[in-house]
Structure 1
């Protein structure tokens, strides 16, 4: 089963991280990436630009309208993701637990459908 592992962090806290903190976060993701490549579970993943660099499109009466910034005004914003293919929801949660730390304060684990709207 495929899962999205969606990571959330406070962009202001990310910007304020020290070089040592950045190195720690990078090291943790590098180790996880290596492990998931070794098991064949990693399909894709990337870090995302700061939310200030985001454009959100919404449905309007006359078609899509664009606004600068992320979809929500929450402090925590989507910061990175992995797409994994693993044997169970429990395994997906175990993988996701490895990215929760002082930087990534919340993680969503969401099943991926192979076709839009199809279970």
Structure 2
């Protein structure tokens, strides 16, 4: 059973952390990847740049336009995700609890079962 573990980021919360706390988060993500790779449950991960570096592409009347927005008005944004293949929903919950974001007040890890995937 595949799960997408979504990391919704709030930059204000992360920026308020000390340098040591931020480094601990990075180290904990590394440990999470080692654990899930060793168990064979890791399928992939992607970390995304902040929304200010993104663009929106819209096609209107056959003409593509690229803009820097509009973006959803929110403090949270998609920061990245993991894709895991686990034996049960309970195992997905157990692994999600290992992701450091789950332990930071104001953040969390959203789990969504995967209905279809190709190449992962």
Please state which band the TM-score falls in when normalised by the shorter chain: 0.7 to 0.9
- Which piece of structure 1 moves more, 3-12 or 58-67? 58-67
| Per-residue deviation, residues 11-68 of structure 1 (Å, max 9, x unmatched) | 2333454321221101111111110001000000022111111113456565665432
Residue aligning to 1:75: 75
Is the CA contact 2:2–2:86 (under 8 Å) kept in the aligned structure 1?
yes
Q: CA deviation at 1:84?
A: 0.4
Instruction: Go from structure 1 to structure 2 and tell me whether the alpha carbon gap of 1:115 and 1:82 turns closer, same or farther (over 3 Å shift).
Output: closer
SS in structure 2 at match of 1:8: strand
TM-score (norm 2): 0.78
SS in structure 1 at match of 2:37: helix
Residue aligning to 1:49: 49
- Which piece of structure 1 moves more, 71-80 or 83-92? 71-80
Distance 2:30 2:71 in 1: 29
Residue aligning to 1:95: 95
Is the CA contact 1:51–1:69 (under 8 Å) kept in the aligned structure 2?
no
Instruction: Go from structure 1 to structure 2 and tell me whether the alpha carbon gap of 1:56 and 1:29 turns closer, same or farther (over 3 Å shift).
Output: same
Structure 2 portions without partners, runs of 5+: none
Is the CA contact 1:8–1:77 (under 8 Å) kept in the aligned structure 2?
yes
Structure 1 portions without partners, runs of 5+: none
Residue aligning to 1:112: 114
Distance 2:68 2:82 in 1: 25
Instruction: Go from structure 1 to structure 2 and tell me whether the alpha carbon gap of 1:68 and 1:28 turns closer, same or farther (over 3 Å shift).
Output: same
Query: What is the root-mean-square deviation in Å for CA atoms of aligned residues?
Result: 2.5
